[in-house]
Structure 1
Amino acid sequence: MSDQDDTLIAAVQRLLASFRSEDTGQDLLGGTIVDSVVSKDGLVQVTLSVDRARAAGLEGARRTVEGAITRLPGVRNASVVLTSHREAAPPQPPQPAARPPAPKPSPLPGVAHVVAVASGKGGVGKSTVSVNLAVALARRGLRVGLMDADIYGPSLPRMLGANRRPEIRGDRMIPIEAWGLKAMSMGFLVEEDSAMIWRGPMIMGAVQQFLGQVEWGELDVLVVDLPPGTGDIQLTLSQRVKVTGAVIVSTPQDIALIDARRAVRMFEKVEIPIFGVIENMSVFCCPNCGHRSEIFGHGGARLEATRLGQTFLGEIPLLLDVRHMSDAGTPIVAAAPDSEGAKAFVAIADTLATRLSLTAPASG
């Protein structure tokens, strides 16, 4: 950590000690545990642990503290997250897990639809699918945003060919514009080789910042590229905003389909509709002779979608051009719209647009 980061952390800690909570009038630090204060390139994240019974009463203080930190010299953006803790209790016999109360997410202001792109496991090309679907929707004339929710492994800057930092206006971040999209990623805020060694509350705070402190403006669709798995980020998204629906990406092989099945079940539990399943890397096409090889098998995602009662959205072939263009920051949908790969992405994007009732370019 740099000396500048150390100085900023010390300033934040002094500020925390000076605030008094709304419900008790006592020093905030007297009833709240500071789990962590992290600073990186002017981005500050504070995690406060508080007794569960006091959490609601401290929401106003949380917002006040967050605003005050934002105004400190050297701070570009700040997020304060409250987490609840309980006193240790004696061991109890195992009990059936109670179903948590249903979350009450609200629409994201100015955004007509939020579409989550998910997978049960990594390495299935989910980010490539997210980028090309978003670009394909934008090329229809729609206003499209792309949010990289994979905080640990952000890949959008490389795939979009954009590595500049977002502008900060007040307490709002201005998304990066590329290929007709408005995009936000942790990769725009940190160096490409930086390791994000963050705990769950800090990750959830970053997702909340991307949802609430980015100036998305008026969008027809916000595509959210989720990390692999079924963890904190997926749960945070489902609880913070109203998600219109999810798209599940899998390869045809059995091991990927098992994890895709878990992703489907997770979205069902949090009551997010599923638009369907995409089979990525469906078949390999030799660029020299055109021979087709089923490296990961073929048709597994279609069969799994049928078993789960879900729509099969389509197949995307494993093409060398898709990989080359992704690494070069030129999505194949924009760089080679007449290619086989681009046409596969566009066909799925057309299906999504129809499901979202976005069949004509947005006005304005």
Structure 2
Amino acid sequence: MIDQNYFKDKRVTVMRIGLIGRGIGDAAYIAEMGGIVRVVDAAPQDVMQPAVDALAEYPNITFKFGPYEFADFKDADLVLVGAGAPLDEPVLVECKKAGVRLVQSAALFAELSHVPIIGVTGTRGKSTVTHMIHHVLSVTTGEEVILGGNVRGVSNLQLLKQVKEDSLCVMELDSWQLQGFGWAGISPAVAVFTNFMEDHLNYYERGGKSKAEAMDLYFLDKAQIFLHQEESGVLITTPEVFTRAQKLPGSIGQEVILADASVLPEDMLLSMPGEHNRLNAALAYEALKSVGMTEDEIFAGFASFPGVEGRLQLIATIDGVRVYNDNNATTPQATTVAIKALA
């Protein structure tokens, strides 16, 4: 069970609270649980005023905007770091030197909830695979399955209110959230790693790093999804990702499943076109099998899966012309794959 007093009287610095709801919800949860919260953000207050207004009811939350100062971090019991914060940010470097604990909300949810987690990462496809797994589990079991991680507007700490003794959670995890899993030395029980492509180079090339060095750092962050699994864990990925994973220091002792679209019936129709989505479905299939779902249950769930907004989402058919929204294809590779899927 969750320790309801975990945050009581703890001094928590929340760094980079953002405006889309995750950080705001996290700060609110900590305050509700009796924590003493200091929100710091490098953005000016006029930009961040909506966050201030959203948290105005909590007298135990204070705010400071502008350049970060170590004085706002050094006495904290923990620092909740917002996604995308550069790890070479001087105040974070000082925190590490001083032994101040750094956390991220997805990993902190995992630590505090103690529920089994199916985690999904990858440069592309992680949203589709996450929602596909969540959909099949929800419609098959009829139970509430927690959905968290990199889900727009969802506070991972607020999800602690949904946790029950028999809960199961599916989390989409980006590279920044997986940094938090690395800091905590934990990984999800079931890890799905969809693929690995160039992305976020503006973040990882900081400090004059080469593209190769940046890609290694990016992969290492992603790899936190499986590096700390126990032997009872399951890693589901592709041969290409696994080849790169084997080059990392340490051994991979957990079960490894290499997904292949051939596990799907040839005549199975998915709501989203393209061979890449058949591979996404194969990854979801293996994850669902690993938690006890039968083939019949999985394929029935796939048949009713509506797809994900912004991922080759069919939004209209006009005079026989199908119109798709694929606004999450934010890399050249993803756009190319989408065009091929519709060709």
Structure having the higher Rg: 1
Which gives a bigger RCO, structure 1 or 2 (Cα 8 Å, sep 6+)?
1
* Structure with the bigger percentage of helix: 2
Per the TM superposition, whether the score is higher than 0.5 is no
TM-score (structure 1 length as normaliser): 0.28
The TM-score, its normalising length taken from structure 2, stands at 0.29
Greater strand share, 1 or 2?
1
